Amino acid sequence: MPATLGELADRFGCDIQGDPSVVVECVGTLSGASINAISFLANPFYSSQLKDTQAGAVIIEEHYKEVCQTPALITDNPYALYARVAQFLHPLEVVNPSIHPTANIAIDSKISGSVAVGANAVIGSEAKIGESAIIGEGCFVGPNVTIGSYTRLAPNVVLMPGVVIGERCIIHSGVVCGSDGFGFAREDKLWIKVPQVGGVRVGDDVEIGANSTIDRGTIENTVIEDGVKLDNLVHIGHNVIIGAHTVMSALCGVAGSTIIGKRCMFGGAVVVVDHLTICDDSMFTFHCTVLQSVSKPGTYSGALSADSSKRWRRNAARFKKLDSFIKPFRKDP
Amino acid sequence: MPATLGELADRFGCDIQGDPSVVVECVGTLSGASINAISFLANPFYSSQLKDTQAGAVIIEEHYKEVCQTPALITDNPYALYARVAQFLHPLEVVNPSIHPTANIAIDSKISGSVAVGANAVIGSEAKIGESAIIGEGCFVGPNVTIGSYTRLAPNVVLMPGVVIGERCIIHSGVVCGSDGFGFAREDKLWIKVPQVGGVRVGDDVEIGANSTIDRGTIENTVIEDGVKLDNLVHIGHNVIIGAHTVMSALCGVAGSTIIGKRCMFGGAVVVVDHLTICDDSMFTFHCTVLQSVSKPGTYSGALSADSSKRWRRNAARFKKLDSFIKPFRKDP
Amino acid sequence: MPATLGELADRFGCDIQGDPSVVVECVGTLSGASINAISFLANPFYSSQLKDTQAGAVIIEEHYKEVCQTPALITDNPYALYARVAQFLHPLEVVNPSIHPTANIAIDSKISGSVAVGANAVIGSEAKIGESAIIGEGCFVGPNVTIGSYTRLAPNVVLMPGVVIGERCIIHSGVVCGSDGFGFAREDKLWIKVPQVGGVRVGDDVEIGANSTIDRGTIENTVIEDGVKLDNLVHIGHNVIIGAHTVMSALCGVAGSTIIGKRCMFGGAVVVVDHLTICDDSMFTFHCTVLQSVSKPGTYSGALSADSSKRWRRNAARFKKLDSFIKPFRKDP
DSSP state of A329: G
Q: Is the pLDDT of residue C332 over 60?
A: no
Give the span between the Cα atoms of B266 and B185, in whole angstroms.
31
**Using one digit for the tens of pLDDT, what is the confidence trace for C243-254?**
999 999 999 999
Q: What kind and span of H or E run contains B193?
A: strand B190-193
- The catalytically annotated residue of C238, C245, C275, C287 is C238
Give the separation between CA A13 and CA B53, rounded to whole angstroms. Answer: 55
One-letter amino acid of B267? G
pLDDT given at position B305: 72
What pLDDT is attached to residue A34? 94
d(CA C183, CA A83): 9
CB C177 within 8 A of CB C195: no
- pLDDT band at C305; cut points 50, 70, 90: confident
How does pLDDT run across A283-309, given as a tens digit for each residue? Answer: 999 998 999 999 999 999 877 677 777
pLDDT tens digits along C158-169: 999 999 999 999
Neighbours of chain A (3+ CB pairs under 8 A): B, C
d(CA C269, CA C271): 6
pTM, two decimal places: 0.95
Residue C294: strand pairing partners: C278
Q: Which residue has the higher pLDDT, A96 or A149?
A: A149
Q: What whole-number distance in Å separates Cα of residue B294 and Cα of residue B63?
A: 38
| C179: DSSP letter | E
Q: What are phi and psi of A197, to 5 degrees?
A: -105, 0
Q: What is the mean pLDDT of chain A?
A: 94
Contact B234, B176 (CB under 8 A): no
Q: Is pLDDT at B11 greater than 80 in this prediction?
A: yes
Strands C241-242 and C259-260: parallel
Question: What is the 8-class DSSP label of residue A64?
Answer: G
Collect all residues of chain C within an 8 Å Cβ-Cβ radius of residue B182: 209, 229, 231-232, 249-250
To test the contact with chain A by mutation, choose from C191, C216, C218, C240 the residue with the greatest count of A C-beta atoms within 10 A, namely C191
User: Does residue A14 have a pLDDT over 60?
Assistant: yes
Inter-chain contact C215–A211, Cβ cutoff 8 Å?
A: no
Which pLDDT score is estimated for C331?
Answer: 60
Mutation target among C221, C266, C271, C319 for the A interface, most CBs of A within 10 A: C271
Residues 17-76 of A with CB under 8 A from C: 26-29, 32, 45
C1 has pLDDT over 90: no
State the pLDDT at residue B139. 98
pLDDT band at C101 (very low <50, low <70, confident <90, very high): very high
Catalytic residue among A238, A245, A275, A287: A238
d(CA B49, CA A276): 18
ipTM score = 0.94
Which pLDDT score is estimated for B106? Answer: 97
- If we measure between CA atoms, which residue out of B176, B140, B211 comes closest to residue A232? B211
Task: Round to whole Å and give the CA distance between B14 and C332.
Answer: 49
So what's the pLDDT on residue C189? 85
Interface of A with C in 135-164 (CB under 8 A): 136-138, 154-156
Q: Which of C8, C318, A181, C217 is nearest to B207 (CA)?
A: A181
Q: What was the pLDDT predicted at A331?
A: 60
Read off the amino acid at residue B33: A
pLDDT at position B155 over 80:
yes
Q: With a cut of 80, say whether residue A61 has pLDDT above it.
A: yes
Average model confidence (pLDDT) for chain B? 94
Question: Would you say C286 and C313 are in contact if contact means Cβ atoms under 8 Å apart?
Answer: no
Chain B touching partners, 3 or more CB pairs below 8 A: A, C
Q: Which residues pair with C170 in a beta bridge?
A: C152, C207
How are beta strands A213-215 and A190-193 bridged, if at all?
unpaired
Contact B211 A215 (CB under 8 A): no
DSSP H or E segment with residue A192:
strand A190-193
At residue C302, the pLDDT reads: 77
Residue B176 near chain C (CB below 8 Å): yes
Mean pLDDT of C173-185: 98
pLDDT tens profile A229-282: 999 999 999 999 999 999 999 999 999 999 999 999 999 999 999 999 999 999
- Chain C contact probe: residue of B194, B251, B313 with most C CBs at under 10 A: B194
Q: Looking at C170-228, which runs of residues are DSSP E strands?
A: 170-171, 176-179, 184-187, 190-193, 200-202, 207-208, 213-215, 222-224
Q: Identify the helix (H) or strand (E) that includes residue A4.
A: strand A3-4
Q: Cα–Cα distance between C158 and C172 in angstroms, integer? A: 10
Say which DSSP state C332 is in: -
pLDDT in tens, B110-127: 999 999 999 999 999 999
CB atoms within 10 A of CB C62: 11
pLDDT (0 to 100) of residue C318: 78
Annotation marks residue B238 as catalytic: yes
Q: Give residues 236 to 295 of B whose Cβ lies within 8 Å of C.
A: 237, 251, 253, 255, 271, 273, 275, 289, 291
Is B190 touching C (CB cutoff 8 A)?
yes
B318 has a chain A CB within 8 A of its CB:
no
- The pLDDT of residue A324 is 78
Residue C136: closest CA among C110, C111, C161, C116:
C116
Of A180, A189, A195, the CB nearest to B263: A189
| Nearest-CB residue to B233 (from A120, A156, A233) | A233
Distance CA C234, CA C246 (A): 13
Residue B331 reports pLDDT greater than 70:
no
Q: What is the radius of gyration, based on Cα positions, of chain B?
A: 24
User: Across the interface, do B326 and A318 touch by the CB < 8 Å criterion?
Assistant: yes
Q: B145: which residues sit within 8 A by CB, 6+ positions away? A: B124, B127, B128, B159, B160, B161, B162, B163, B164, B165
CA angle at B122 for the pair C251 and B100, rounded to the nearest 5°: 125
Confidence of residue A19 (pLDDT cuts 50, 70, 90): very high
Of B87, B156, B303, the CB nearest to A140: B156
The CA–CA distances, whole Å, from B280 to A304, B244, B290, C48 equal 26, 9, 15, 26
All domains of chain B, ordered by start, with CATH? 3-89 (3.40.1390.10), 98-314 (2.160.10.10)
